Structure 1
Amino acid sequence: MDQRVMLLAPDHVSDELGGSYQDACQALDLEPTPGGYAIYLMDTMNHRTTVICANTGPVRQAKQDYESGGEGSLVNALNLDDILDIRIGWPEECGGGPRCQFCRNPDPTWLYEGADVEVLLGAPPFDIGSPQVIGTDVVGCMDWYACDVCHELIQAADQHSWHRLLDQYGFSHVPMPVQAAWCEFWLNHRRPEPAPPPAWTPARRRATANHLRLHWDEWAARYPLDDVVFTNEPGRPELAGVDRALAIARAYLHQPPPPGRIRSYPAGPASIVRADGNDWSLIGRTDSHAIILLDDVPEVLHPLKGPQTTSLLRGLEELIGAP
């Protein structure tokens, strides 16, 4: 079982979620309580579950231990009495969108209609070890996502490719229940189709902003601005959302937003600055350019550059340290 833990509290909101504590609670449909939450992201048997707990003490202690050079272990930190809610899947900001169901690649490119499998388990021999698989039931159809690599193995449909697909699981041993479900899929699936792009949502906009921050140099190399035509013309309908977001970001300079809506990260001699609003995100490097993402304009990166952009980014960064 893989496990990640995220602290959500008035004094800490993860970069994946971004924004203020109130923003993050609203995004996760949680009440912004003073004590905050510990959010456990479980990945068990190829299924993801989010467990929300009220007790943040173990997470804070582990975080403090890790920052002091320790391991930051959270073994046995989850107490059943502290659980407030259990949800299927993960928040989209934390990687909860579609993924390859074989290697867990977060960018699947193919979609299969395959068997929805219920694995029947029995007690292990002599009650020692893991439960044993005693059978499978196909209870319907479901979507199976696959990346390019796993797709090629599935399409090859030979014994060697089956074993290579098992190797894609990423661990030394694929649990037998997982193997049983995969085997039913291997024998019962339709022709693949290209996977549709995930829906553009506020959560995906925030996740994209964080991804841009983490991989700024890669994005800048992939989308060079040398051929982009910039304009300062006011009143262009196609730029109305950008103008509105910029106006709100500039207003932050005079009326600072709640803590967390502006973030800054070292980037060599410069900084990468991120600012969030209710339906937009601004991410930029103080010595280069910036990008605006809008909820109502899906999948579009709106680039900005020039002295005004640089001044805005630096002004926003200065607010972080202001009293």
Structure 2
Amino acid sequence: MAATEETATDEDALFVLTAVLLTPARFPSVLGDDFPEVCAALGLEPYEQGYGLVLGQDGGGARWTVVIDDVSLVACALAAWDCGMEYDLSPDERSVVSVLPGWPLAVAVSAPGVPAPHDPPPDPDGGRPPLAPPDAQTWGPAQRRLGADEIALRWAVWREEYEGAEEPSGSGGDDAADGPAGAAEAAEAAPPAAPAESARPSDGGEPSNEGVRRVLREAHAYVETPPPLGRVRSEFASDGARTLRADGPGWSLVARTDDMAFVLLDDMPGDVIPVGRGPKLPALLRALDEMAAKPA
């Protein structure tokens, strides 16, 4: 993240605070389950090459989000900032697709020398209302996706929490343990987690947790009928494996192709359900990885 060190003198100048990618493989999942859904939330066409979102303040302190089609510029800036390097993110006017009032995501910094961040005044011509981050304080789709983001980012830490879940679980391919409130905490949630219902296979060989059964059915359906772009995403992981992320109505799944999976459900606030490999999960993960959106 980079905040300008200049002092604002021009009301029209944009003082860049941060930026994010909006592509089928990488997008702020807190805003939606897939790439077209996030684009729709911002009033954008789901252009397959994607966009970059540049968040900043004008000289009066107002929040603005500048949408550009120069994805590589934003990717370079993010890579430099991640390494602690300076990078002047100054989009060419020809790359600007849209300028939106407000910020779709929470930003913890502000530009020096300008008033505190605030929404710009309403458009007299009746433009769209300012963007605002989704409510992540109450468990729901946004918070569930934030929890899945946290698991994908810190896989090794979460994996250690569920060493017992790595045992195969019969023909169902699932094994579950009670999930802590970690997913809720990752999303800065207030409500505590309730113990997760066991998803161990029943006598019929299927997971006893109906939510997990539904997730696995819908994930299998993605292989047969590809879902909207970005609904399944894949990134490099250690040891030659890949980290998979799949989302659907009311659920998120995070997995590594060489390991297990975790499921989060809208109707089980704060719970993280581990899914052991078993005989079926590896094939499902391989199939999902083959059709997933991947970073360029």
What is the TM-score of this pair, normalised by structure 2? 0.58
**1:222 equivalent among 161, 164, 170:** 161
2:139 to 195, 200, 209: 200
Superposition map of 1:1-323 within 5 A: 1=3, 3-9=17-23, 12-17=24-29, 19-26=33-40, 28-32=41-45, 34=47, 37-42=51-56, 49-53=63-67, 55-57=68-70, 59-61=71-73, 63=75, 73-77=87-91, 79=93, 82=96, 84-91=98-105, 96=106, 198-225=137-164, 228=177, 230-233=199-202, 239-269=209-239, 270-305=241-276, 306-320=278-292
Query: How big is the shift at 1:32?
Result: 2.1
RMSD value over aligned CA atoms? 4.4
Q: Secondary structure at the match of 1:51?
A: strand
- Paired residues of 1:41 and 1:49 also in contact (CA < 8 A): yes
Gaps of 5+ in 2: 4-15, 117-135, 166-175, 178-197
Q: Note the C-alpha offset of 1:239.
A: 2.4
Deviations 1:62-118 (A, max 9, x none): 5469889xx894443275994745444443xxxx3xx9xxxx5xxxxxxxxxxxxxx
Give the SS at the match of 1:253: helix
Q: How many pairs does the alignment contain? A: 221
Larger relative contact order (Cα-Cα within 8 Å, sequence gap ≥ 6): 2
Q: CA separation of 1:251/1:230 partners in 2, compared to 1, >3 Å: closer, same or farther?
A: same
| Deviations 1:236-274, CA, capped at 9 Å, x for gaps | 998222221211101112222233222222333332211
User: 1 or 2, which has the higher helix percentage?
Assistant: 1
Aligned partner of 2:131 in structure 1 is none
- Greater Rg, structure 1 or structure 2? 1
Please tell me whether the aligned partners of residues 201 and 207 of structure 2 are also in contact (alpha carbons under 8 angstroms).
no
What is the SS of the residue equivalent to 1:299? coil
8 Å contact 1:19–1:262 — kept in the other structure? no
- Cα-to-partner distance string for 1:199-247 (whole Å, 9 max, x where unaligned): 1232222222122111000112234435936521269998222221211
- Indicate if the aligned counterparts of 1:37 and 1:52 stay in contact, CA closer than 8 A: no
Go from structure 1 to structure 2 and tell me whether the alpha carbon gap of 1:13 and 1:273 turns closer, same or farther (over 3 Å shift): closer
For 1:66 and 1:175, the matched residues in 2 are separated by: 24
Q: Does the 8 Å CA contact 1:16/1:210 hold for their aligned counterparts? A: no
Q: Structure 1 residues 255 and 4 mapped into 2: Cα distance closer, same or farther (>3 Å)?
A: same
Q: For 2:209, what is the secondary structure of its paired residue? A: helix
* Contact 2:199-2:273 at 8 Å conserved across structures: no
Instruction: Say whether the 8 Å CA contact 2:21–2:74 is kept in structure 1.
Output: no
Gaps of 5+ in 1: 105-168, 179-196
CA apart distance, 1:23: 2.4
Q: 2:156 aligns to what SS in structure 1?
A: helix
Cα deviations across residues 37-66 of structure 1 (Å, max 9, x unaligned)?
A: 432233799x9945143x423x43454698
User: Bigger CA drift: 236-245 or 266-275?
Assistant: 236-245
Structure with higher strand content: 1
